[in-house]
A and B are shown apart, each in its own frame.
Chain A
Amino acid sequence: MRLPEKMSSYEDMVGPGITACSGCNVELSMRTALQILGPNTIVAVPPGCMGGVQSVGWADKTGMKIPVFFPLLDNTASMLTGIKKYYERVGRDVNVVAFAGDGASADAGFQALSGAAERGDNIIYICYDNEGYMNTGFQRSSSTSLGSWTSTTPVGEAAEGKSSHKKDMPMIMAMHDIAYMATASPAYMPDLIRKIEKAKTIKDGLVYIHIYNSCTTGWGYPSEKSIDIVRKGVKSRFMPIYEVDHGKFKLNVDIKDPIPLKDYLGSMKKYKHLSDHQVDQLQEYVDEKWNNLKTLCEVMG
């Protein structure tokens, strides 16, 4: 079956009245992921954009066709562990899933996620990385990249945006020796879909899927460019698409001839103030990460 036909045969698990900002590729990612995961799924959506758009429900109405819970910002993985352990105990195979932003994953919720990864709890943790606290107007997270303007790392006479690089969450999670780690992008949908399908089959440990998303309002670009932007992110090697299946590294989208990083950075407002020095720093970061990843794929492929 062709991919569009296959996808249209799956039911949308998110309520039809739930919409994020115009052009949001996180909503697209969430709907796609939950379509594949299907009705035998319990999903936790912690505070963040996708909680904010009320996929978690409002008052006495639900926002999903599957059980949905709005956990704390910092306990998503732990509470999912509790759910999964009970279902394992009573012998029911249920997909227990997080759809959490980078703040809930890389910052406040990191300890709980690291604990679940170390214990090998069989949950599917999907992080939608739009590089900041976007739901509340773009405050910085540890997943915000160097130089980025945010409302808490503003640009002025004495400051030029965020002063440190982005936390490398995919690699950190891979180094927990979890069962399956993958990065994905809504610009590479067949790859994203395959990875969610794969996640569903993993029964021997934690799955972490890191989706490189973007944010039209926070990053500052026209809403129809949401897919273009993240495709440029991949093509500039800023957002490497790879997977680590039980310790085996594989680059899924090899970028042999990258576009200039400036093409990516220059296509949105959050980087418009960048100095040449900052662009150089970012280029060095991207080159080093890419080379390390290539080496890992060769040595541990």
Chain B
Amino acid sequence: MSKKQVLNGNHAAAIGALLAKPDVVAAYPITPQTPLVEYFSQYVADGVMDSTIVEPESEHSAMSVLTGASLAGARTFTATSSQGLSLMFEPYFRASTMRLPIVMNIVNREMISPQTVWGGPQDSLTVRDAGWLQIYVEDNQEILDMNIQAFKIAEHKDVLLPINICYDGFYLSHMTEGVEVPTQEEVADFIPPYNPTHVRLDPETPMAVDPLTPGNYLQYYRELHMTAMDNAKRVIKEVNDEFAAKFGRDYFGLVEPYKMDDAEYVLVTLGSLTGSARIAVDKARENGVKVGLVKIRCLRPFPKNEVIELLAGRKAIGVIDRNVSFGWHTGIVYQEIKSATSTLEAVPTVPFIGGLGGEDLTTELMSEAIEKVLEVADSGQVENKAHWLINTKGR
């Protein structure tokens, strides 16, 4: 039987991953991911889990160790944040293009400069086109559950791609919540063993992995990779449904709709800020405003069809971004939503930016966003740049 524990996000991630029994773990500590590495090391030291832990000298080497281990046939796990992610970008891109189903948590932290350690998904969103699957979660239960699902999705024969489970630094990594923890037996039953044949370094079956490759082959591999991304949409949904049936928690797959059935106005969110947006939606509904919410869970692959289906025919939309897309003066998720809905009859869509560097995106700010969406629905006029959601307190 599962049991309920009080866990912070890092602890939930560590337990989720250890239940999946990775063979090799290599991670380099960085705030706010550090406690996750510590939990793992302690579990191995205590004999609770028997993963092989490598203590690399950098994130670049952490990803490189897992590249080698995965090529040898291992199930692999790691985690990082911001600067660590950018340091490992070279082997990061290569892990996906070699089709290695590595599971990596990204404990979202702003990118410097200016110097910062606080939350924000600028790190993982900036590398969204590096070929990894990316799932963004809202709370600690979802962190644990998605770490279990991650292995099953990534290692699926129609996918074979690495996956990021992304959760906000501090807001989730260091905050505690009640989390249902399944048993080892339940999880073992859920995730089949990993035994790769598509790429493998084994003297019994000699293979040249990643030889020098001319463009015609490279294009073919890229097409296969993108097809695997398409397949992942189906697999993520299947795994979600199977998980829901077995463990009783349903995350709706690629996107989660909230009060969308009759919604005229919509907020689109990503990550932990969804919590305060839900409260603002509830408050607005108390005042008779028919507003709903769409939480983007899967950013890569992007759930284009689901987004179109959910956003078609609404009066106005607001996209809340805790990140920036330099050069567009909007957030990144806004660009994704605009691309996905480009075939729809134009719906006024407002780009919002707020909560950068760990700033609080309060329910008041979310209510301000809803007000702005209503205003735009009336006027039909959308400004050519983001509306900044700013906490004036202390400024």
Q: What is the interface of chain A, defined by CB distance below 8 A to chain B?
A: 39-42, 51, 54, 56-72, 74-75, 78-89, 94, 111-112, 114-115, 118-119, 121
Contacts and interface: CB of A to CB of B under 8 A. Distances in A.
Nearest to A15: B208
A62 B201 CA distance: 13
A260 to B, nearest CB: 42
Nearest to B212: A58
Given A60-B217, A86-B74, A75 B210 contact: no
Interface of B: 23-24, 26, 52, 54-58, 60-61, 64-74, 76, 90-91, 94, 200-203, 205-214, 217
Nearest to A96: B68
Contacts of A115: 56-58, 61
B203 A67 contact: yes
B212 A56 contact: yes
A42 B199 CA distance: 14
Given A74-B90, A78-B56, A118-B57, A62 B211 contact: yes
Contacts of B210: 56, 69-70
Contacts of A64: 206, 208
B94 A72 contact: yes
B203 A41 contact: yes
A82 B212 contact: no
Contacts of B211: 54, 56-63, 70
20 contacts: A41-B203, A57-B211, A62-B206, A62-B211, A63-B211, A67-B200, A67-B206, A69-B201, A69-B209, A70-B211, A71-B64, A79-B65, A79-B68, A79-B71, A81-B65, A82-B54, A86-B24, A86-B69, A86-B73, A111-B57
B91 A67 contact: no
Interface of A, secondary structure class, is mixed
A85 B69 contact: yes
Given A57-B208, A62-B208, 6 more contacts: A39-B203, A60-B211, A70-B209, A89-B24, A89-B52, A111-B61
> Which 4 A-B residue pairs are closest in the complex by CB-CB distance?
A82-B68, A57-B211, A57-B208, A115-B57
A74 B64 CA distance: 9
A235 B92 CA distance: 46
Nearest to B199: A69
Contacts of A41: 203
A78 B65 contact: yes
A14 to B, nearest CB: 12
A178 to B, nearest CB: 15
Contact of A112 (B24, B52, B64, B76): B64
A49 B214 CA distance: 18
B61 A54 contact: no
Contact of B23 (A67, A80, A86, A94): A86
Q: Which of A42, A65, A75, A78 has the most CB of B within 10 A?
A: A78
Contacts, number: 154
Contacts of A78: 56, 60-61, 64-65, 68
Contact of A72 (B65, B69, B91, B208): B91
A86 B64 contact: no
A55 to B, nearest CB: 9
Q: Which of B58, B67, B69, B211 has the most CB of A within 10 A?
A: B211
A61 B65 CA distance: 25
A111 B90 CA distance: 15
A66 B76 CA distance: 24
A85 B52 CA distance: 7
B244 to A, nearest CB: 33
Contact of B60 (A65, A70, A75, A86): A75
A89 B23 contact: yes
Nearest to B58: A111
Contacts of B91: 72, 75, 79
Nearest to A60: B217
Nearest to B69: A82
B56 A67 contact: no
Contacts of A51: 212
A85 B208 CA distance: 20
B60 A112 contact: yes
A3 to B, nearest CB: 26
Contacts of A71: 64, 67
B201 A42 contact: yes
A255 B217 CA distance: 52
B104 to A, nearest CB: 14
Given A61-B208, A67-B201, A69-B209, A82 B57 contact: no
A111 B58 CA distance: 9
B57 to A, nearest CB: 3
A64 B211 CA distance: 11
A120 to B, nearest CB: 11
A26 to B, nearest CB: 18
A70 B203 contact: no
Contacts of B94: 72
A67 B202 CA distance: 6
Contacts of B206: 62, 64-68
